[in-house]
Amino acid sequence: MKIEWLYGGSVLCLPGRAVEFLSRASADELRVLIAMASGCADSARLAKMSGSSEEAVLAAVRFWAEAGMISADGIAAPERRETSRPSYSGEEMERICGEGDMRELIEVCSVILGKTFTPAETESILYLHDGLRLDFEYIVKLCKHCHDIGKPALRYIEKVGISLYDSGVVTVGALDAYIERERRKQDMEYRIRSLFGLGERALTPKEREYLEKWTIEWNLSFELIELAYNDMMAAISQPKFSYENGILKKWVEAGCRTKEDVAAYAEKHKKAPKSEKKEREIGFDLDEFFEAATRRGAASSVKEEDPKKSV
């Protein structure tokens, strides 16, 4: 099949990675994406252009933001119907389970999680579907995700569902994007832990911040992170997240996404060897500087104290 584009007098531009989400995005989300590519950022106008409701437009914007296709400010999360989780009586549970596809949903979720639900666990599914109005497919996928990461407790699943709802992840497409991000983050964390030789110890808040920046904000491949690690270890004796971050930041700002990009960048910027001071600046970390300065100050105070005057 041969296709020829007839651009006319204008062109729409979209991130190439958008094709990865075509099978997951709803019709509304795809229409809104094309409308946004025209340069429109007004929700009312986007709704008119895409033939969607304003609520669907906001959900679509959240989906593409969660997918990393756009950066969107001022998008409010949907309001919860209840300020606190309601408690269902036996009669209410029986009534709701008799409506629509609720009984089938409970059965499917119980099969996924490999257990028969207690009344309290059934309430969690009821709340997600009846209280938050999350649809059948959404709840099934959420249960499978939590089961796959080793956290099949219904209370945990309910907590994650509420958190996602409050952050605007309310469509199946947005949930798929969230699950993909979590999968990628966990996979990259394991590989980076192995690279740095961290074993099973917990990451410090600063280390986790760096990891999130590399894998989510900058969306770097492990190949590039490993390449920066090798460059770092050629310059210092012990690996440091702050040092590697300096290398990666320099590459990201230069537009490097592959080994070939880095090689071309290095060739273009070949200079005389830098001084030791300049080399250290790559990995300079302000938090570490203040921590070291505090330790030196404390040690100095102890040394200067005259024990004879304290008698």
- Cβ pair 82, 31 in contact under 8 A: no
The separation between the first and the last C-alpha atoms of the chain, rounded to the nearest angstrom, is 96
Rg (CA), the chain: 26
Q: How confident is the model at residue 136 (pLDDT cuts 50, 70, 90)?
A: very high
Q: How sure is the predictor about 280, in pLDDT bands with cuts at 50, 70 and 90?
A: very low
| Range 21-48 average pLDDT | 81
The whole model's pTM is what? 0.49
The single-letter code of the amino acid at 58 is L
pLDDT at position 232: 94
pLDDT band at 287 (very low <50, low <70, confident <90, very high): low
Work out the percent of the chain whose per-residue pLDDT is above 70: 82
Summarize the confidence of residues 8-34 as an average pLDDT.
78
